[in-house]
């Protein structure tokens, strides 16, 4: 079980899992700290950079919060300070802890940090790395072999929705499958618990648009029969 503990600094706060760690140095949230130790295993492109870290004996993922959309042209990674528990990092960390407690397949939260400067803050989060997993986006050009996996993805999404879990960015990049076709959801920034409603269908519609986009980028097509297999799993 995740055991939340908080370290308070002059301009920072760190929320971490006390069942795994005795404390968390602020340096852990700096890319340079891991690079100097040759501990960055890989970098994942995205809105910002996501780093997979060799933290011996564990493997972690470090993600810096960055803005998206039009606002990102003017503000890269600053957010308005409204209190630590309302920061994106703390909210995602606590959401992941709650989802794990309910038995849902998500990465375990390790630590989250917020660094305040006057009315704004920056934030980072560290989670466990899900070994031997690949994103659905990276597998989409192999849909002929994805049939059973698509049904399982549908069942997994239904499990999240039945518990009222809203994923703000449900795309093919944030659904992972391991070698046994176990399904995981990642990146719960801006995620929340909601009463089930029309947003559930909105989640599915967003995923379908994402699958079509990825398929087009890889020179393939999302077949309606493939999408119906996912929907069958969701309905089943």
The catalytic position among 38, 169, 178, 187 is 169
The 3-state secondary structure of 86-128 reads HCHHHHHHHHHHHHHHCCCCCCCEEEEEEEEECCEEEEEEEEE
> Residue 130 to residues 56, 73, 99, 119, 137: CA-CA distances in angstroms?
15, 32, 16, 35, 16
User: Please, what sign has the CA dihedral across residues 174, 97, 112, 37?
Assistant: negative
Give the three-class secondary structure for 234.
helix
Tokens, residue 99: 């989802």
Work out the angle between the directed axes of helices 198-217 and 224-235 (0-180°, nearest 10).
Answer: 150
Tokens, residue 140: 């989409």
Closest C-alpha among 86, 99, 107, 112 to residue 16: 112
Closest C-alpha among 145, 138, 144 to residue 218: 138
Tokens, residue 49: 């950079």
Active site residue 77: no
Q: Pseudo-torsion of CA 87, 67, 158, 127, nearest 10°?
A: -60
Q: Which residues are catalytic?
A: 169
């Amino acid at each position: 079980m995740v055991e939340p503990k908080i370290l308070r600094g002059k301009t920072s706060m760190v929320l971490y899992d006390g069942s795994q760690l005795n404390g968390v140095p602020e340096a852990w949230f700096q890319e340079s700290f891991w690079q100097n130790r040759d501990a960055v295993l890989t970098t994942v492109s995205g809105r910002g950079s996501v780093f997979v870290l060799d933290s011996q004996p564990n493997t972690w993922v470090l993600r810096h919060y960055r803005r998206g959309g039009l606002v990102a042209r003017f503000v890269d990674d600053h957010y308005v300070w409204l209190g630590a528990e309302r920061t994106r990092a703390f909210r995602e960390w606590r959401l992941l802890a709650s989802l794990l407690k309910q038995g849902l397949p998500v990465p375990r939260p390790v630590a989250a940090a917020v660094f305040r400067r006057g009315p704004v803050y920056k934030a980072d989060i560290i989670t466990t790395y899900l070994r031997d997993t690949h994103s659905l986006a990276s597998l989409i050009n192999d849909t002929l072999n994805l049939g059973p996996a698509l049904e399982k993805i549908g069942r997994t999404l239904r499990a999240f929705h039945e518990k009222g879990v809203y994923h703000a960015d449900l795309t093919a990049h944030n659904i992972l499958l391991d070698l046994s076709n176990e399904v995981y959801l990642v990146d719960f920034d801006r995620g929340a618990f909601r009463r089930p409603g029309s947003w559930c269908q909105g989640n599915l519609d967003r995923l379908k648009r994402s699958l079509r986009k990825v398929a087009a980028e890889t020179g393939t097509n999302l077949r309606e029969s493939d999408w119906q297999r996912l929907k069958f799993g969701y309905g089943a």
